[in-house]
Amino acid sequence: MNPFVPLTLPNGTQLPNRLAKAAMEENLADAEHAPSDELIRLYRTWAAGGVGLLITGNVMVDRRAMTGPGGVVIESARHRERFERWAQAAQADGGRIFMQLNHPGRQMPAALGQPTIAPSAVPLDLGNFSKQFAAPREMSEADIVDVKRRFVEAAVLAQSFGFDGVQIHAAHGYLFSQFLSPIANRRTDRWGGPVENRARLLLEVVAAVRAAVKPGFAVSVKLNSADFQRGGFSPEDAKAVVGMLNPLGVDLLELSGGSYEAPAMHGQTRDGRTLAREAYFLEFARDIGAVARMPVMVTGGVRRLAVAQQVLDSGVAMVGIATALALDPALPHAWRAGSASAPALRPVTLKNKVLASLAYMAMVKHQLRKLSRGQLPNPGVAPVYALLQQQIDTTVRNRRYRRWMRQVTSH
């Protein structure tokens, strides 16, 4: 299928083409964790490149719960003007923008100095890197009610700021993904055990968000096709969850995979599967998508037009592209003009999977920083250099975050 055919979502939202900028964690918030000028410039650059849908990187629903320093936080209308500028920048060339809403659960760096919550008191298993994340405490009923409220209020705010929709992040090992995982969720109450219980929080949040926003505002979900850990969230679980999402008015379902413990979204797993090819979640999407009654989007490794077409020909409605758009933000225009452009990062040859995943993310963030400053990307950046640069940037932002938290807490 031609990727440049429009797609109308179930709620009537029209996307000008089938190519989406999938979420990447930018960490480009300003000192008050609002959208910075650099972040707004980055989205204007992607909008000018011809992508049909832009999905933001993590926007945090709770300032105490961050995937990393430098993340945008949405808790009130205080920074309305900045959020409105962000939405307008992304819509400047006719594309649409969804705000990705997230809570990290146990995947919050210990260096941020905040208590960590999760479905169960199960710490991350990252080998030598495990101490980078504090052991979480099990969430109480009050914690669960608070999280639900925050997602709904954030969605209503995003709508008021001019965004076209939200994406509720239930993949990559973050909070909702932790509830879905039998490894991370060992509860014996109504939030744990069978998949119907493990999916309860996600389903209640999706239903509450759909009820709180206008019909023309899109509600989407990002879900793992699997978490690629033995005994974890399986493709069969994913199919069951999709079946439960079907009647809830979801406008777009993005399928990805993996977590910090098994970073399949970067082509690596812990259960022995290899994902070292383009469109590496496509086979799972074909299977899971057969159950879905909403349009499905697949993200993971796509960087060539022929592969994007293959994804669409398989019955998937939308192609999510991440790293390739960090390397060439005008890739959709290039493909439309007949170019065979297939942007790729320099290979990461580090043997340690966690370190290799960190290096990969650092290389992508290196490109995002350059684009946000109006500079050209650098696909050949050395993994070790990008990792060192990222560590310095993270150290500075960690300090700034802790200072900001002290200020907002004391007022």
Does residue 274 carry a pLDDT above 50? no
Q: Which helix (H) or strand (E) holds 72?
A: strand 72-73
On whether residue 370 sits in a domain, the answer given is no
Q: What is the pLDDT of residues 116-153, one digit of tens each?
A: 999 999 999 888 778 889 999 999 999 999 999 999 99
124, 261 contact by CB (below 8 A): yes
Among 406, 408, 394, CA closest to 70: 394
How far apart CA 31 and CA 34 sit, in angstroms, is: 7
Residue 33, phi then psi, degrees to nearest 5: 60, 35
What CATH number should be reported for the domain holding residue 248?
3.20.20.70
Structure tokens at 220: 């989407």
- What pLDDT does residue 280 have? 56
On whether residue 164 sits in a domain, the answer given is yes
The owner of tokens 């398989």 is 314
How far apart CA 73 and CA 60 sit, in angstroms, is: 5
Does residue 69 carry a pLDDT above 50? yes
On whether residue 386 sits in a domain, the answer given is no
On whether residue 390 sits in a domain, the answer given is no
The owner of tokens 């410039």 is 41
CA 229 to chain centre: 20
- What pLDDT does residue 285 have? 79
Report residue 275's pLDDT band, with 50, 70 and 90 as the boundaries.
Answer: very low
- What pLDDT does residue 261 have? 64
Across all residues in the chain, what is the average pLDDT?
92
- What pLDDT does residue 180 have? 96
- What pLDDT does residue 230 have? 74
Domain count, the chain: 1
Burial per residue of 98-108, b for 16 or more beta-carbon CB atoms within 10 angstroms, e otherwise: bbbbbbbbbbb
Among 300, 312, 302, CA closest to 269: 300
On whether residue 385 sits in a domain, the answer given is no
Q: What is the pLDDT of residues 205-249, one digit of tens each?
A: 999 999 999 999 999 999 988 666 777 788 889 999 999 999 999
Burial per residue of 341-355, b for 16 or more beta-carbon CB atoms within 10 angstroms, e otherwise: bbbebeebeeeebbb
Beta-sheet pairing, 117-118 with 96-102: unpaired
Structure tokens at 324: 């390739």
Domain hosting 55: range is: 7-343
Average pLDDT over residues 386-402: 95
Structure tokens at 21: 């900028």
Q: Which 3 state secondary structure label does DSSP give 120?
A: coil
How far apart CA 3 and CA 334 sit, in angstroms, is: 13
Among 126, 134, 57, 156, CA closest to 97: 57
What interhelical angle do 305-313 and 282-289 show, nearest 10?
20
106, 118 contact by CB (below 8 A): yes
53-67, 72-86, 273-287: which has the minimum mean pLDDT? Answer: 273-287
Q: What is the pLDDT of residues 179-189, one digit of tens each?
A: 999 999 999 99
On whether residue 136 sits in a domain, the answer given is yes
Average pLDDT over residues 359-372: 95
- What pLDDT does residue 355 have? 86
Average pLDDT over residues 323-331: 97
Question: Percentage of the chain surpassing pLDDT 70?
Answer: 93
- The letter for the amino acid at 370 is K
Among 133, 122, 240, CA closest to 182: 122
Does residue 277 carry a pLDDT above 70? no
Left, alpha or beta for 50 (phi > 0: left; psi -120 to 50: alpha)? left
Does residue 12 carry a pLDDT above 80? yes
On whether residue 312 sits in a domain, the answer given is yes
Among 22, 93, 74, 6, CA closest to 256: 22
On whether residue 399 sits in a domain, the answer given is no
**For the chain, how many residues are written?**
411
Question: Percentage of the chain surpassing pLDDT 90?
Answer: 78
Report residue 300's pLDDT band, with 50, 70 and 90 as the boundaries.
Answer: confident
- What pLDDT does residue 291 have? 93
